[in-house]
Structure 1
Amino acid sequence: MSLLTRGAPRSRLALAQRIVAPLPWAVMLVGILVDEILQSTGQHTPTVLLTALAIFFPLLVLQTALAAAIHPKRRLALVLLIAALSTWALGSILVNAARVDQEATFPGNGEWLFLVSYLGMAGYLLRDVDRRQARPARSWLDIVIICGGTASLACLLVVTPVQAASHQEGVSLLLALIYPLADMILALLVLGQSLLQTRTDRRKSLMIGGAFLLLGVADSALALQGSASTYDFGNVSYALWGASFSLLVAAACRPPQSVIRAVPKSADTPVLMGAGVVALIVLTLRPDDTLAYYMLPPSILTLVAVGARLVLALRDANRANDAFALSQTDDLTKLPNRRAVRAWLSTELAARNPLALMLLDLDGFKDINDSLGHRAGDTVLRLVAVRMTEGVDAHARVARLGGDEFAIIMDTTDEIVLMETAHHVLRELAKPLLVEDIEITPAGSIGVTVAGPEDDDGSEVLRRADVAMYQAKNAGLGVALYDSQLDDFTRSRLQMAEELRKAIADGQIEVWYQPQLDAATMQVCGLEALVRWRHPIQGVISPVSFLPAARRAGLMGQLSEVVAKQAVEDFDARRRAGLDVAVAINCAPPELLGPTFLPRLYAAIEKWDIPVDRLVLEVTEDTFLDDPQHTREVLLELRSHGVQVAIDDYGTGFSSLTYLRNLPVQELKIDRALIANVASDARSRMIVASTIQLAHALEMRIVAEGVENAADLVALVAMGIDTVQGYHLARPMPADQVERWVRDWTRNNNSSESSAKDVADPEQDREESR
């Protein structure tokens, strides 16, 4: 075999194997056919079968050796099979050689070789499995139980009648019965391996199992000879033996599967218990001494294996219970963990019991870990767990979800009781702790949600409590009850984000414009570009509805680029139509400071040849506060390109005069919150007036947005505002309506001015007409 391995490549070896494969079948058929012909002519001699055996078995060995050379990973299993074939062949030759001159008595010298060959076949079956599928001890016990129980049943239903019919006894009966029993056990071994899925090639398993069944039928002929003690077999028996070995070798030579098609599994409990019951029944029948040779061993082995399997099952059950308890317990605080909370929620929701969930998150816990170390943090968590448990009644269940998050499950939906309990827990937590010789006062935020009759998912209840907890934390309330109106993470809003992503790609985003008027002349001096979403079903959607979803989904960059590109194109179209007014584009801080927005804006300006002094980029105050140095560099770059910058929503945050002094900003836009009621509110009027003076002193234009009535407009103009915009003057409109509106406004405004002049000085008009 080593010569074959070192010789021709595998392709030639595979070709040789395909050529050799049908030859054993041909030799067997020819030998049996010739023997039948000689028997019919009265010239029968065992020499023909002896010659056929001398050719048949070497061909099988050669075929198996070629397979071992082709598949080196299976070499040991195939070598064991070669040894079994060679041993059986030698025993068969010895038995048939003794029959040449005289009748051979049973048992002959070759019988021991037959028994040895079964060891080789059993070794082949045990080795020729998928080695990738590791088998625990319980799986092999399953095989022993299945095979032993079936062997016991076969002894009771098959072997016992055979013994009664054959009238043999002693060693000859034992040997005669060993062979079919061994064949049956090996067939059962293949069945067990298939059940446990260590044999994944179903066709190969059927071939091997069929081979041992044929071998068992052939071996049963010896036990059915009655009282004869000689070898007297017909060609049918020889054909069965030959077919069984040929089928076994053909199955062994099949290439292994490269893909695992099934997951290994253990046998079902009813199968194992059934095998044990059969073995117990066999033992209960108390067979006589003759039957005890072959009935007691498989039955006793089966019961021992069943006992061992029950011990393993009990041990596994205990371990599973311990593991389940540990899997639902937090190691640090010994409270139930997130898995336990999910299980509780599922159970209570399924039973439709009253249920409320609180989620507590400690405030500033990271500072404790960073300052004192994780050991001190663990101490704080354990003490918090104790205080939370003491701070609720006995019916409430406290758990630690992980980190510094804790949960409380209560069997009530009374919101007053829930809020009182939450505040009581916070008061208990606020009592000082002594950790690492430092007094610490823990604080936390609690979100509360109540499960409704429509709730059937514990994950949704957890999510709502988490949202409420963050609402409490962000607002500094301590405790907050879930409010769906403040929930930015609902399924519908997630769906809106996905629809918006598609809308950007499909061109559903539109740019509308709101006119800006020069306060001195009331002529249109600019347009602010505003985004709108024309939804195919809902119609035009305001940015208030979808911008939060765009921010969460990371779509603001794409959205800003679409708006800027469309605003530049619309500006070029209006300029070609004779309308040359500046356009203001809103830009969020991440986009302004990001790497892509401005380069693409510059590219669009260059493509459409836009006068950069007619383009204003509106940014909010937080842009300057987050990263002042980077912001300054970006604004200087904008100034070098000629693009103007306006500070949008000025006055809504903690405005700093530092960036007004240091940064290249050309325009301030006072937020509508300060503009509203400026005519009637003296404090608002004072703030706006001082802001206008400050902007003019810094040589900045100042714009009032959100002008909603004539009184505010008159007050703003009197204070010296430069530009005004708002619903009192014009609402945002689509791009195709802007040009007509501007021309109508200009014409009407000019007509009003002419009428005013006629009323003011008619004599001068008459002079001019002359």
Structure 2
Amino acid sequence: MRPTDESVRSRVNVAQAIVAPLPWAVMTTGLVVNEITKPAADVKTPEVVLTSLAIFFPLLVLRLALVSFLHPGRRTTLLLLLASIAAWSVGSISVNAARVDGQTQFPAPGEWLFLLSYLGMAGYLLRDVDRRQSRPARAWLDIIIICGGTACLASLLLVTPVRAVSHQEGSSLLLALIYPMADMILALVVLGQSLLQTRIDRRKSWMTGMAFVLLAVADSGLALQGSATTYDFGTLSYALWGAGFSLLVAAACRPAQTVIRAVPRSGDTFVLVGAGVIALAVLTVRPDQTLGYYMLPPAMLTLAAVGARLALALRDANRANDAFALSQTDDLTKLPNRRAVRAWLSEGLADRTPLALMLLDLDGFKEINDSLGHRAGDTVLMLVGVRLREAVELPARVARLGGDEFAIIMRTTDEIELMETAQSVLAELAKPISVEGIEISPAGSIGVTVAGPGDQDGGEVMRRADVAMYQAKNSGLGAALYDAELDEFTRSRLKLAEELRRGIAEGQIEVWYQPQVDAATMRVCGLEALVRWRHPTQGVISPVTFLPAARRAGLMGKLSESVVTQVVDDLQARHEAGVDLNVAINCAPPELLGPTFLPHLFAAIDRVKVPPDRLVLEVTEDSFLADPQHTREILLELRDHGVQISIDDYGTGFSSLAYLRNLPVQELKIDRTLIGDVATDDRSRMIVASTIQLAHALEMRIVAEGVENAADLAALVAMGIDEVQGYHIGRPMPPWQIDAWLSERAAADRELVPSPSAASETELDRPEQERKESR
């Protein structure tokens, strides 16, 4: 839009806002002046009213014109209302102008303008709706029923009193009632449109409907006069007309609403039945013959519409029942489907009846589809459904959840009975079937869970059965009861993962350190960094508890970065304090091979300027097996940055030194499972001794972890182990505690006097690398 167009629209919008309250002000002023000047003999009331009308209606027309300019999409609709207001204003001014010199006979020449105005307002209402909403046949029937029923009710409550007061009959009575009846019909149209959800702005609908009600009350004043042959309007009638038209225009000028609201339909049946009862009452009671002439067609039309609407409702109900049944039936096997199972579970949990759920998943079904085609797979599924129904007895229910998954719901909580039923189902399922000329013996895995007293959600019961089914599949047992200890997806563990996510962001992760000592000198030569979580309510939590949750939630990357940052900061602090020790950091294969860990590690080293060779990155053997080439590239990159590499948990995985020949590995760490029996078990001692010799031949440092007693320590030292670590040396400690421990250990080492069998002072003071080279 050009700037000039925008400025014009802005000015028009300001003008519309200024004009909006003026009709109300003019109407109020005119009525007040009319009341004040009534007693004066030289002032005629029609002249005051005529002056007010000459200002009031043009202001309404001007406001509609301004709004139609601002909203081109609604222009035709607003112009229809503008033409209706203009026609009414001309007719009203004509009638009141004729009253200046005396009484005017009813009907006056301007009456045709009033009738024309009602046609325009009806057209406005039909266009002023949301075109996106559909209007099926039942919707129009609803409108006919509501309008016809209300017309019949109005005949009982309005026509009889008007006839009694006005003493009119026939066409005179009909002419006197045509305006209030037209107003009520237009109000009913607004009500019907609201019920059909074609009017989405409730406030606008209320304002429009109220406007026609005010007009109906005002127009009834003429019919309720003692004589319906002259015009004799009071101040109240003028006030109601003015308020009605002002409210109608104000509603039309409201901005269009774009959000579709669902209108409750709970009361529709009552309204439709009530309209039919009223129409039937009109046909049967009929207070007088004249009333019967007028109201017989609307009453008959209303009853016919009610009958048609009931027929449609009955058809819809039958279709809904059929659709509901189809929605809960599997197309292939004709068994109930997942929706039906959820409904059964919800019903059983609500009634607190004994309830158990079995989930069956076929083993190797994909191979059947891939080898024989989906047609053969469908045949297998249908036959499986038949066998499941034959394998269980009523009141057990069988359903197909989808794919190759089936469900069995039983009304019992006896776990022994459930497992016996599961085994019998598997036995029945394993009987050979012939498909495409090939005999197939289907197999499956069944997960069983029992609904507990606290269960309220069928989805949770299905989840537990699904977990049990995968437990049965992984264990190869065929059937398994749900075991919460093996459930990695419980709510508590999900909550733990979310708390860990928040804990990492809030700095609740701590790094503790376990000392490593040189086996020859028993001096501290390094530390291993171990992660701990200081939970705000549970205290310090071991990594065994939260690392599985971190892996499942994808938090290992952020956790590793937090550990690296703390380790590097602590290393720098010790380096500045004169404590020169290696620090080992554990790194799982996904993080090692991922794109973010190494850049974060190198950035942390560069930030604090610590010697990179004081960092030892511990990686497990499965890192090499997962992606050997990528792992080799990463290790070479670490070597280029000066970081040492240690193979952690050696002896639990592939356990071969062959893949280490061309890799920049400086250290091997023998797992505690081999260290624990080294003092008493000859086979363990031989394995450890040979590993030490091979590692030294490859010029690699070798560390024993998990040293728990003095006997194992002595045996390892005798074998030539380089470094040892374990509870016998020192437990993991937080940073402030390990620093104090190191100080005490250093002071104790300085006071030691070497025995004759020990190495000389000069030998102990030699650098570690020189000692290794001398060996």
- Indicate the TM-score class for this superposition, using the shorter chain for normalisation: 0.7 to 0.9
For residue 451 of structure 1, report the CA deviation from its aligned partner. 2.0
The CA distance in 1 between the partners of 2:89 and 2:574, in whole Å, is 101
Q: Secondary structure at the match of 1:699?
A: coil
Q: Secondary structure at the match of 2:307?
A: helix
Is the CA contact 2:214–2:244 (under 8 Å) kept in the aligned structure 1? no
Is the CA contact 1:156–1:295 (under 8 Å) kept in the aligned structure 2? no
Amino acid in structure 2 at the alignment position of 1:597? F
- Could you say which residue in structure 1 is the equivalent of 2:735? 735
The answer to whether the aligner puts 1:309 opposite 2:332 as a matched pair is no
The CA distance in 1 between the partners of 2:10 and 2:604, in whole Å, is 65
Distance 1:646 1:349, change over 3 A: same
1:400-549 equivalences under 5 Å are 400-435=400-435, 440-549=440-549
For residue 352 of structure 1, report the CA deviation from its aligned partner. 2.0
Amino acid in structure 2 at the alignment position of 1:584? A
Q: Secondary structure at the match of 1:447?
A: strand
The CA distance in 2 between the partners of 1:564 and 1:44, in whole Å, is 97
The CA distance in 1 between the partners of 2:427 and 2:418, in whole Å, is 14
Q: Secondary structure at the match of 1:733?
A: coil
- Could you say which residue in structure 2 is the equivalent of 1:359? 359
- Could you say which residue in structure 2 is the equivalent of 1:154? 154
The CA distance in 2 between the partners of 1:143 and 1:684, in whole Å, is 92
- Could you say which residue in structure 2 is the equivalent of 1:640? 640
1:192-341 equivalences under 5 Å are 192-194=192-194, 198-199=198-199, 201=201, 204-225=204-225, 230-236=229-235, 239=238, 243=242, 246-247=245-246, 250-251=249-250, 253-258=252-257, 260=259, 262-266=261-265, 267-341=267-341
The CA distance in 1 between the partners of 2:347 and 2:298, in whole Å, is 48
Distance 1:632 1:377, change over 3 A: farther
- Could you say which residue in structure 2 is the equivalent of 1:566? 566
Q: Secondary structure at the match of 1:247?
A: helix
- Could you say which residue in structure 2 is the equivalent of 1:768? none
The CA distance in 2 between the partners of 1:241 and 1:539, in whole Å, is 75
Q: Secondary structure at the match of 1:424?
A: helix
Is the CA contact 1:78–1:252 (under 8 Å) kept in the aligned structure 2? no
Is the CA contact 2:84–2:120 (under 8 Å) kept in the aligned structure 1? yes
Distance 1:175 1:582, change over 3 A: same
The CA distance in 2 between the partners of 1:727 and 1:16, in whole Å, is 85
1:544-693 equivalences under 5 Å are 544-693=544-693
Alpha-carbon RMSD across the aligned residues, in angstroms, is 3.8
Bigger drift between 488-497 and 515-524 goes to: 515-524
Is the CA contact 2:106–2:230 (under 8 Å) kept in the aligned structure 1? yes
The CA distance in 2 between the partners of 1:502 and 1:106, in whole Å, is 82
The CA distance in 1 between the partners of 2:700 and 2:733, in whole Å, is 28
Amino acid in structure 2 at the alignment position of 1:425? V
Q: Secondary structure at the match of 1:255?
A: coil
For residue 20 of structure 1, report the CA deviation from its aligned partner. 8.7
- Could you say which residue in structure 1 is the equivalent of 2:707? 707
The CA distance in 1 between the partners of 2:36 and 2:120, in whole Å, is 32
For residue 150 of structure 1, report the CA deviation from its aligned partner. 2.4
The CA distance in 1 between the partners of 2:294 and 2:32, in whole Å, is 34
Q: Secondary structure at the match of 1:754?
A: coil
1:184-207: CA deviation from partner (whole Å, max 9, x where unpaired): 222333344455564455554455
Distance 1:201 1:447, change over 3 A: closer
- Could you say which residue in structure 1 is the equivalent of 2:773? none
Bigger drift between 90-99 and 273-282 goes to: 90-99
Is the CA contact 2:35–2:235 (under 8 Å) kept in the aligned structure 1? no
For residue 708 of structure 1, report the CA deviation from its aligned partner. 2.4
For residue 155 of structure 1, report the CA deviation from its aligned partner. 0.8
For residue 223 of structure 1, report the CA deviation from its aligned partner. 3.3
The CA distance in 2 between the partners of 1:602 and 1:64, in whole Å, is 71
The CA distance in 1 between the partners of 2:43 and 2:564, in whole Å, is 107
1:183-198 equivalences under 5 Å are 183-194=183-194, 198=198
1:411-442: CA deviation from partner (whole Å, max 9, x where unpaired): 22222222222233333334445555655544
Amino acid in structure 2 at the alignment position of 1:73? G
The CA distance in 1 between the partners of 2:7 and 2:544, in whole Å, is 79
For residue 548 of structure 1, report the CA deviation from its aligned partner. 1.2
Is the CA contact 1:707–1:724 (under 8 Å) kept in the aligned structure 2? yes
- Could you say which residue in structure 2 is the equivalent of 1:765? none
Distance 1:390 1:644, change over 3 A: farther
The answer to whether the aligner puts 1:698 opposite 2:698 as a matched pair is yes
For residue 316 of structure 1, report the CA deviation from its aligned partner. 2.8
Amino acid in structure 1 at the alignment position of 2:250? A
Is the CA contact 2:358–2:407 (under 8 Å) kept in the aligned structure 1? yes
For residue 342 of structure 1, report the CA deviation from its aligned partner. 2.0
Is the CA contact 2:207–2:248 (under 8 Å) kept in the aligned structure 1? no
Amino acid in structure 2 at the alignment position of 1:641? H
- Could you say which residue in structure 1 is the equivalent of 2:767? none
Bigger drift between 40-49 and 583-592 goes to: 40-49
Bigger drift between 81-90 and 324-333 goes to: 81-90
Q: Secondary structure at the match of 1:427?
A: helix
Amino acid in structure 1 at the alignment position of 2:311? V
Is the CA contact 2:106–2:231 (under 8 Å) kept in the aligned structure 1? no
The CA distance in 1 between the partners of 2:243 and 2:298, in whole Å, is 25
Distance 1:436 1:620, change over 3 A: farther
Is the CA contact 2:146–2:275 (under 8 Å) kept in the aligned structure 1? yes
The CA distance in 2 between the partners of 1:252 and 1:378, in whole Å, is 61
Is the CA contact 1:509–1:534 (under 8 Å) kept in the aligned structure 2? yes
Q: Secondary structure at the match of 2:702?
A: strand
1:710-740: CA deviation from partner (whole Å, max 9, x where unpaired): 3333433444433322223322223333355
The CA distance in 1 between the partners of 2:447 and 2:336, in whole Å, is 19
Is the CA contact 2:23–2:246 (under 8 Å) kept in the aligned structure 1? no
Q: Secondary structure at the match of 1:233?
A: coil
Is the CA contact 2:568–2:610 (under 8 Å) kept in the aligned structure 1? yes
Is the CA contact 2:672–2:704 (under 8 Å) kept in the aligned structure 1? yes
Distance 1:180 1:620, change over 3 A: same
Distance 1:182 1:625, change over 3 A: same
Is the CA contact 2:33–2:48 (under 8 Å) kept in the aligned structure 1? no
Is the CA contact 1:190–1:209 (under 8 Å) kept in the aligned structure 2? yes
For residue 481 of structure 1, report the CA deviation from its aligned partner. 1.8
The CA distance in 2 between the partners of 1:601 and 1:260, in whole Å, is 52
Distance 1:25 1:727, change over 3 A: closer
Is the CA contact 1:53–1:93 (under 8 Å) kept in the aligned structure 2? yes
Identity of aligned residues (%): 69
Is the CA contact 1:60–1:249 (under 8 Å) kept in the aligned structure 2? no
The CA distance in 1 between the partners of 2:421 and 2:365, in whole Å, is 22
Amino acid in structure 2 at the alignment position of 1:125? L
Q: Secondary structure at the match of 1:645?
A: strand
For residue 617 of structure 1, report the CA deviation from its aligned partner. 1.0
For residue 631 of structure 1, report the CA deviation from its aligned partner. 0.7
Is the CA contact 2:152–2:295 (under 8 Å) kept in the aligned structure 1? yes
Q: Secondary structure at the match of 2:653?
A: coil
TM-score by length of 1: 0.86
The CA distance in 2 between the partners of 1:575 and 1:9, in whole Å, is 72
Amino acid in structure 2 at the alignment position of 1:271? V
Q: Secondary structure at the match of 2:668?
A: strand
Amino acid in structure 2 at the alignment position of 1:279? A
Bigger drift between 509-518 and 626-635 goes to: 509-518
Bigger drift between 511-520 and 12-21 goes to: 12-21
Q: Secondary structure at the match of 2:661?
A: helix
Distance 1:30 1:381, change over 3 A: same
Distance 1:579 1:260, change over 3 A: closer
The CA distance in 1 between the partners of 2:518 and 2:46, in whole Å, is 124
TM-score by length of 2: 0.86
Bigger drift between 541-550 and 461-470 goes to: 461-470
The answer to whether the aligner puts 1:724 opposite 2:734 as a matched pair is no
Distance 1:754 1:12, change over 3 A: closer
Amino acid in structure 2 at the alignment position of 1:76? T
For residue 36 of structure 1, report the CA deviation from its aligned partner. 10
- Could you say which residue in structure 1 is the equivalent of 2:81? 81
